[in-house]
Amino acid sequence: MKNSYKDNNFGRSKFSSKKNDDKNMNKRGRSFETSVKGNMKRNTEEKRAYVKDEAVAPIENKTISREDIVEGRNAVIEALRSDRTIEQILISKGDKEGSINVVRGLAKEKGIVVKEVDRKKLDLMSETGVHQGVIAKVTPYKYFTLEDMLNKAEKAGEKPFIVILDEIEDPHNLGSIVRTAELCGVHGIIIPKRRNVGITPTVYKSSAGAIEHMMVAKVTNINATIDELKEKNIWIYGADMEGEDYSYKANLDGAIALVIGSEGKGISKLTKEKCDKLIKIPMVGKINSLNASVAAGILMYEVLKTRL
């Protein structure tokens, strides 16, 4: 019995020792975890404070597209030349050559504050990654209405020329389309509120500042907007690989709206049915589709040719 008691006592003692060791390890683990969390929290707060100096969103929100900054020299110059409200312009320290002087000059004329900052701060703010040493803090883009576009055409004594984009999610594509649309005399671009990119810094940069001269409207329902356009005697042409006619053969004269779909899915089924006519672009290569902005550019120039 004594031996049994000793064995049991030894077992309890061994177990107790192991339990204490585990407890100490857990303590150290919790202590280490708390330390790591503390450091992470401090780092996050430092980043927030660092970015707060320039009145921009916290670093964690960089995935959210912003509509209150304009990046890149050409885009900022066009923003300065327009009626856009610019709160301040941030320029990389020591950057005094080339078109940056145009930015400084225009800002001085308009009485806009120019602040020199470390390039690292611009890198933190940038969504495009190619800010070229200058970012303008602006009021968010003011979207227009369909009526604004039609009034613009009427004042110019021209037949309405509208572009409707069906779920274009790439900001580079939207920027390129805006740039070409402005050159081709388009009176406005209509985009859906959902599943479509808005006017972000990347769109500004890709459009080379053309967005400052282009009306963009966000609508809840594209198909309802198409019905509204039809009531105003505007013909709806959709770009589709299975279109009835080639673009160069179609009669694109008069009041017109072009519908451009996304690269992956094209125009949605219901929207396609709403179109008065589907047209296609001739292609002879092995690749059977075009980039959305390229397709839009070709069709917009086909419309422009009828107006020259």
Reduce the secondary structure of the chain to three states and give it as a string.
Answer: CHHHHHHHHHHHHHHHHHHHHHHHHHHHHHHHHHHHHHHHHHHHHHHHHHHHCCCCCCHHHHHCCCCCEEECHHHHHHHHHCCCCEEEEEEECCCCCCCHHHHHHHHHHHCCEEEEECHHHHHHHCCCCCCCCEEEEECCCCCECHHHHHHHHHHCCCCCEEEEEECCCCHHHHHHHHHHHHHCCCCEEEEECCCCCCCCHHHHHHCCCHHHHCCEEEECCHHHHHHHHHHCCCEEEEECCCCCEECCCCCCCCCEEEEEEECCCECCHHHHHHCCEEEECCCCCCCCCCCHHHHHHHHHHHHHHHHC
The pLDDT-based confidence of 40 (bands split at 50, 70, 90) is very low
Q: What is the pLDDT of residue 285?
A: 85
Q: How many domains is the chain built from?
A: 2
Of 109, 138, 167, the last residue of a domain is 138
The pLDDT-based confidence of 201 (bands split at 50, 70, 90) is confident
Residues 198 and 266 in one domain: yes
Question: What range defines the domain where residue 226 resides?
Answer: 146-307
Residues 165 and 299 in one domain: yes
Stronger pLDDT, 192 or 62, i.e. the higher one: 192
Checking if the pLDDT of 57 tops 60, the result is: no
The pLDDT-based confidence of 83 (bands split at 50, 70, 90) is confident
Residues 133 and 150 in one domain: no
Residues 188 and 291 in one domain: yes
Inside any domain, residue 58? no
Residues 176 and 260 in one domain: yes
Checking if the pLDDT of 87 tops 60, the result is: yes
Residues 209 and 156 in one domain: yes
Assign residue 265 the CATH number of its domain: 3.40.1280.10
Q: What is the pLDDT of residue 58?
A: 38
Mean pLDDT of 57-67: 49
pTM over 0.75: no
Of 118, 138, 158, the last residue of a domain is 138
Residues 207 and 300 in one domain: yes
Stronger pLDDT, 264 or 39, i.e. the higher one: 264
Mean pLDDT of 183-210: 89
